[in-house]
Copies of this chain bind each other. A is one copy, B any other.
Amino acid sequence: MISVLLIGKGNVASHLHDVFLKADTIEVTQISSRNLENIPDANVTIIAVSDDAISEVSAKVNNNLVVHTSGACSIDELKNKNRKGVFYMLQTFSKGKEVDFKKVPFCLEATNLEDQKLLNKLAKSIGENIYEINSKQRKSLHVSAVFVNNFTNHMYKIGSDICKENKVPFDILQPLIKETASKIATLSPKEAQTGPAIRNDEKTIKSHLGLLSTEQQEIYKILTKSIQNGN
């Protein structure tokens, strides 16, 4: 049995609480980060709060092993006096939408082998994809995630705006969006690229630019140039 204390009441903390409750080998307690006067002890204390609050909250926790869940923060952001670690799940968590933890990649970091084993065991109680990732690697994963998630979502946003502007249903594009995402499970993104930029089809590029707003044009041009540079 592993005892887990969750500090925080946000999306990540709530989803973790729900899934730990279902695991036979885990005993879980959840408290708010606003009420840290009586902190129960636990084998692993998971601080799942906003990046800015990690330092302040962790300074108040005297438990043995204290980990945060942030992709952007180094392990050194933790200010507790005892052992430290990171329990980062690389997935988007939305309120009200159930998470399939079997598919979530767990990126774990610890400062000694015993803690690493404990975090691996904890992650295996709810998931399957476990990676040992240090703070520098995690930071690079986090910036990659901004490109493949936030910026990709912004491409969808612009596509949807263009459709709205021209009165065609955005839903026509949904199969293409799904196919684009599933293609790179078998092809590298470089091999999967198609379209006017990679073909250097100047006529089509010029005609597309005529349909766009100034900001959209700027984005279209810089991404076309970047595709053509092969970078």
Residue numbers of A with Cβ under 8 A of B are 51-52, 72, 90-92, 94, 103-105, 107, 129, 131, 133, 136-137, 139-163, 165-170, 172-185, 187-190, 192-198, 201, 203-204, 207-208, 211-213, 215-216, 218-220, 222-223, 226-227, 229, 231
A226 close to B141 (CB less than 8 A): no
B184 close to A149 (CB less than 8 A): no
- Name the contact of A180 in the complex, choosing from B92, B223, B226 (C-beta under 8 A): B92
Q: How many copies of this chain sit in the oligomeric assembly?
A: 2
Q: List residues of chain B with CB within 8 A of the CB of A185.
A: 174
Q: How far apart sit A145 and B197, CA to CA, in the bound complex (Å)?
A: 13
A177 close to B154 (CB less than 8 A): no
Q: How far apart sit A190 and B170, CA to CA, in the bound complex (Å)?
A: 13
A178 close to B176 (CB less than 8 A): no
User: Can you report 7 residue pairs joining A to B where beta carbons are below 8 Å apart?
Assistant: A90-B176, A91-B176, A149-B195, A156-B184, A160-B188, A178-B181, A213-B231
Q: List residues of chain B with CB within 8 A of the CB of A231.
A: 161, 213, 215-216
B193 close to A153 (CB less than 8 A): yes
B94 close to A183 (CB less than 8 A): yes
Q: List residues of chain B with CB within 8 A of the CB of A155.
A: 147-148, 151-152, 155
- Name the contact of A181 in the complex, choosing from B180, B204, B229 (C-beta under 8 A): B180
What 11 additional pairs, Cβ within 8 angstroms, besides A143-B208, A144-B158?
A51-B203, A90-B173, A105-B175, A129-B175, A144-B162, A149-B177, A150-B193, A150-B196, A150-B197, A153-B180, A156-B189
